[in-house]
Chains A and B, each alone.
Chain A
Amino acid sequence: MTTDVDPAVRQGRSAKDEILSRIRAATPDVTSPVGARGAAPRVEQPASSRAETVELFVENVEDYKAAVVRVAPDGIAQAVADAVRDVGSVVVPGGLDAAYLSAWPGAVRRVSDDGLSSADLDAIDGVVTTASVGIATTGTIVLDHGPGMGRRALSLVPDLHVCIVRTSQVVHDVPEAVARLAPGAVTGGGHVGPQTWISGPSATSDIELDRVEGVHGPRTLHVIVVDDG
């Protein structure tokens, strides 16, 4: 740090220009053009069959101590009802298929998200969402926060997250998920929406590297896997 230069003078010169010129001066040995390596290589584990991929997904999600139930499409409403039965209140994002809520237990208060504050959300026990992609090799569920998934805070602040994933959404490995979630694939345009990749309930290993489930995010993750072919 050159302390003898007045900060105002330093700011007058563009930090961006200076950093970029430092970078250019640092790499005269690099002669390959930008992008010469070609497209990013796609290194992934091969799947042997669809059935195996779905089995692996379920196994790996359960390995994170998330609860998993498998249902046929006509069993979704009942599975949702069973998952929320023991809590007092549940928030439901816009765009969630009304049919999923048709067996709702009367004792559970259902709240729709009409601009709830963080404090409002903190007073709600659970949330029901759909998902965008499931990844078998890692047991991951990805939310791109489109219809049925809600804004990010909804699936974060309440302590119970009930998530509906269709087997047709489950891919085998991470690169396939990344390809499905690419900006063009998600929005048809350039701007990729926010994404949350979820692998089990929130956890920490910060105390003696002992894994403990449940810190700030939902401490209970309940996954409903829908066999839709």
Chain B
Amino acid sequence: MSNPMQTTSPTFVGMPKFPKAAKKALGNTQQRRNLAHATGVIRAKRARVVGEVPEWEALRLAGAQAKDETLGHLAAYLEMLEANLARNGAQVHWARDAEEANRIVVGLVQAKGAGEVVKVKSMATQEIELNEALEAAGIHAWETDLAELIVQLGHDRPSHILVPAIHRNRSEIREIFRREMGLVGRPAPDDLSDEPRRLAEAARLHLREKFLRATVAISGANFAIADTGSLVVVESEGNGRMCLTLPETLISVVGIEKVLPSWQDLGTFLQLLPRSSTGERMNPYTSIWSGVHEGDGPQEVHVVLIDNGRTHVLADPVGRQALRCIRCSACLNTCPVYERAGGHAYGSVYPGPIGSILNPQLRGVASEVDRSLPYASSLCGACFEVCPVRIDIPSLLVHLRAKVVEAADGTTHEARAMRAMAWMFGDHRRLEAAQRAATVGGRVLGDHTIRHVPGPMGPWTGARDVPHLPTQSFRQWWAKRERKGGAR
């Protein structure tokens, strides 16, 4: 029996397939402009700081090997992590799926009698839609990362792993802050401009009262170190440090693939992640804590380890490498498809190339969007080049396309078209008949370009023009030439 997949979260149920959502996104000129600017800036920054490190390839290999070591022996490393966390005074919980993880976290918050929590940016909690579960239980969840705050206040969805509000520009952010901040706390200053410095200051003032007041914080973790029982959060703004330090209770939701074998592995990953992610030599703040530290920070520390489809990914020896991902988002920033379509079209909290291989493995290929994701790529290979843990995304995309086709069992348009082609090419008379038909079409249409045809070819022509039909085929030309006696 295979391991259970992840259930698609309510937010993304019924997402249209990628080409449809992408086409809509392509029509949003403002978003395209914002994305082209932002991804261009970060690509240049990354290239500069990666270029400073001559040993980069050796680092990538070391990163991939460390992750493969844990993924190959995940049970052993998770048990080591649990034992060391417990020794350090943390309470460890295990969750098979999103529903179980949310139930555990909501229960822990309710046990503390807290009506609100402050949150550090976390992909895992987005994936399980923890905020929705908390709100349903009457608990306010305040996102404190600036981009997450912009998304939350804008009643929007994240479109990038690292910069969830990458699709918004400064004047849109100013409008959101002016309109929404006052409804949930300290309002934005009356004279707020769209200068990034002023916008950041508005966030500082708005969130400060929440940091000082909250008794429970929720985080994820970038790394969980098995041999010391330590969690690591890598961030920039200091909102992470506020959440990890000031409240009395800290709950960290951690995917089981986040575990690193040893403390020494940090030496590799703290070089790979910041340079790949924000294009900095090092991110402003990295917090490392190991359970409860007497007299310093939260005195009640919980860690919730979640599966939620990860063991399903693990079971595919080829696809398993997707679990090496450290969520740096370099593959998004370099992807020509992501740059144009944006993150929302991927129908998941994991967009871009990594999302195209992760979602169909975590959730399976039953839904339209997950079936279409392995095709949301030109296979240009740029994502593999920049991946700090050497995930061979292009090969995995091909691997997953095969799975999608297998699952469809010959009922796709492509399969039908290929069968028709085989029948036509199988007999020269059929081929000649088809070619005669095409050249008649060519003579009728002349230079007129066909931009769209109905029927099975419709999706293909949705983004392309039909090639001009020839007025004669090679066979017709050859036959005519032979009849004339030809010039030899």
Residue ranges of A at the interface with B (Cβ–Cβ < 8 Å): 1-2, 7, 10-11, 14-16, 18-20, 22-27, 29-30, 32, 34-37, 39-45, 60, 63-64, 118-119, 122, 135, 137-140, 145, 151-153, 156-157, 173-175, 177-179, 182-183, 190-210, 212, 214-218
Q: Are A193 and B293 in contact (CB under 8 A)?
A: yes
Q: Are B165 and A206 in contact (CB under 8 A)?
A: yes
Most buried by A among B66, B291, B315: B315
Which residues of A have CB within 8 Å of B93? 15
A57 to chain B, nearest CB (A): 11
Q: Are A43 and B268 in contact (CB under 8 A)?
A: yes
A193–B4 Cα distance when bound, in Å, is 38
Q: Could you show 18 A-B contacts with beta carbons less than 8 Å apart? A: A18-B96, A39-B264, A41-B58, A43-B55, A173-B271, A194-B296, A196-B285, A196-B287, A196-B288, A197-B285, A199-B284, A202-B237, A204-B237, A206-B163, A206-B165, A207-B146, A216-B237, A217-B238
Q: Are B289 and A216 in contact (CB under 8 A)?
A: no
Query: Interface residues of A: mostly helix, strand, loop or mixed?
Result: loop
Partner of B146, one of A34, A119, A178, A204: A204
A50 to chain B, nearest CB (A): 20
B317 within 8 A of A: yes
Which residues of B have CB within 8 Å of A26? 3, 311-312, 314-315
Q: Are B267 and A45 in contact (CB under 8 A)?
A: no
Q: Are B297 and A151 in contact (CB under 8 A)?
A: yes
Which residues of B have CB within 8 Å of A179? 264, 267
Most buried by A among B38, B200, B317: B200
Q: Are B264 and A182 in contact (CB under 8 A)?
A: yes
A22–B110 Cα distance when bound, in Å, is 30
Which residues of B have CB within 8 Å of A23? 74-75, 78, 256, 311, 314
Partner of A190, one of B87, B165, B200, B289: B87
B79 within 8 A of A: yes
Which residues of A have CB within 8 Å of B42? 205, 209
A25 to chain B, nearest CB (A): 7
Q: Are A192 and B263 in contact (CB under 8 A)?
A: yes
Partner of A41, one of B62, B244, B297: B62
B359 within 8 A of A: no
User: Which A residue sits closest to B286, measured CB to CB?
Assistant: A197
Q: Are A192 and B230 in contact (CB under 8 A)?
A: yes
B281 within 8 A of A: yes
Partner of A191, one of B75, B88, B99, B239: B88
Q: Are B281 and A138 in contact (CB under 8 A)?
A: yes
Q: Are B295 and A151 in contact (CB under 8 A)?
A: yes
B208 within 8 A of A: yes
User: Which B residue sits closest to A153, measured CB to CB?
Assistant: B245
**Contacts known (A15-B95, A216-B237); A25 close to B76, Cβ less than 8 A:** no
Q: Are B289 and A178 in contact (CB under 8 A)?
A: no
Which residues of B have CB within 8 Å of A203? 236-237, 284
A177 to chain B, nearest CB (A): 8
B114 within 8 A of A: no
Which residues of A have CB within 8 Å of B238? 156, 202, 215-218
Q: Are A25 and B3 in contact (CB under 8 A)?
A: yes
A54–B196 Cα distance when bound, in Å, is 33
**Contacts known (A200-B284, A205-B278); A151 close to B296, Cβ less than 8 A:** yes
Which residues of A have CB within 8 Å of B408? none
B282 within 8 A of A: yes
Partner of A25, one of B78, B204, B291, B315: B315
Q: Are A42 and B297 in contact (CB under 8 A)?
A: no
**Contacts known (A23-B75, A198-B284, A204-B237); A122 close to B208, Cβ less than 8 A:** yes
B134 within 8 A of A: no
A42–B58 Cα distance when bound, in Å, is 10
Most buried by B among A36, A177, A195: A195
Partner of B236, one of A41, A60, A174, A205: A205
